[in-house]
């Protein structure tokens, strides 16, 4: 017999100004079963503290302990609630708040599985594996580049939204100086060539649209790239093809570890129109 489950992702967001967060848990509810359960990452979770390099481990640990205590309290309280009241309580748990812990929107599943299995699968897919995705790698690249620019007093690049008449794209490093300048790191650590190509096409399509609608200039776009980690000839060949496609489009690309190149581009955004750094 299938059961209606509702769940939300628990997110740790220590720096509101950058919007960076890490998935650190799952809360799960099955109103008809009278079930409210959760699973959180360990309070010593190196992948979180490594991601937020300037963060003290004590803050993360204390935050997780507070959340765990609150969820345990709710878990005890809901045992006497009706299904309708339990569903309302779940809505209250995930309600947006200005705290270090945020919850994703409430999501639903209709499954013929035991709650423990559902919770384990959600945690594995949305918390554990999130650190293996290109999104996680790109967030790390953004952190490194942002710190480099900060050290060089090039603080004009901020996370901002760019839009045309139809789409809106949030980019991590945008300078509104002599026009719009964009630095958008891209990681190509996918396990298959088709996923690698899909990731490239997604961003190439977005930038092509913004260029065609005169929101951005090609020469004002820098894409620091991270290639495949494994020595797989097919993946490496696919990555080289992506590099050629990006070059043909006209945007600037370089290795994400090329600090000199990134610095030169960032300084270019401060030069008046008509002048170029040599």
The secondary structure of 73-99 as a DSSP string is HHHHHGGG--HHHHHHHHHHHTS--SS
The answer, yes or no, to whether residue 67 has pLDDT greater than 50, is yes
**What is residue 275's predicted lDDT score, i.e. its pLDDT?**
43
**What is residue 15's predicted lDDT score, i.e. its pLDDT?**
74
Output the CA–CA distances (angstroms, integers) from residue 124 to 23, 119, 120, 121, in the order listed: 11, 9, 6, 5
E strand or H helix that includes residue 117: helix 115-123
Strand locations in 107-258 (E): 107-111, 158-163, 168-177, 179-183, 186-187, 221-226, 252-255
Mean pLDDT taken over the chain:
88
Is the pLDDT higher at 179 or at 113? Answer: 113
Of 54-68, 199-213, 228-242, 256-270, the poorest mean pLDDT is in: 54-68
Give the model confidence (pLDDT) of 165-190 as tens digits.
Answer: 888 898 999 999 878 999 999 999 88
Strands 186-187 and 221-226: parallel
> Average pLDDT of 257-268?
94
Q: Is the overall model pTM greater than 0.85, yes or no?
A: no
Residue ranges per structural domain of the chain: 3-131, 134-268
> Average pLDDT of 22-32?
93
> Average pLDDT of 103-120?
94
> Average pLDDT of 266-276?
70
**What is residue 278's predicted lDDT score, i.e. its pLDDT?**
44
User: Quick one: fold of 134-268?
Assistant: Trna Endonuclease; Chain: A, domain 1 (3.40.1350)
**What is residue 271's predicted lDDT score, i.e. its pLDDT?**
73
């Amino acid at each position: 017999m299938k059961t209606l489950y509702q769940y939300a992702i628990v997110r740790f967001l220590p720096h509101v100004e950058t919007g960076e967060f890490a998935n650190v848990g799952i809360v799960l509810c099955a109103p008809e079963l009278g079930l409210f359960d959760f699973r959180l990452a360990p309070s010593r979770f190196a992948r979180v503290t490594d991601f937020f390099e300037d963060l003290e481990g004590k803050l993360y640990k204390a935050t997780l302990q507070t959340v765990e205590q609150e969820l345990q309290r709710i878990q005890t309280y809901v045992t006497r609630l009706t299904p309708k009241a339990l569903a309302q309580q779940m809505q209250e748990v995930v309600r947006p708040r200005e705290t270090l812990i945020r919850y994703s929107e409430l999501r639903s599943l209709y499954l013929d599985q035991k709650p423990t299995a559902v919770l384990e699968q959600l945690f594995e897919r949305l918390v554990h594996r999130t650190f293996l995705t290109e999104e996680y790698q790109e967030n790390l690249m953004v952190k490194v580049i942002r710190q480099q620019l900060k050290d060089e007093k090039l603080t004009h690049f901020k996370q901002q939204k760019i839009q045309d008449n139809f789409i809106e794209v949030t980019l991590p490093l945008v300078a509104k100086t002599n026009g719009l300048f964009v630095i958008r790191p891209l990681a190509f650590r996918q396990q298959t060539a088709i996923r690698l190509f899909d990731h490239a096409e997604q961003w190439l399509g977005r930038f092509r649209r913004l260029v065609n609608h005169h929101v951005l200039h090609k020469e004002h776009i820098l894409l620091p790239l991270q290639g495949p980690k494994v020595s797989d000839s097919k993946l490496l060949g696919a990555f080289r093809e992506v590099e050629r496609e990006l070059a043909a489009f006209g945007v600037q690309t370089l290795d994400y570890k090329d600090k000199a190149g990134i610095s030169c581009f960032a300084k270019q955004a401060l030069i008046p129109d008509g002048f170029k750094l040599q």
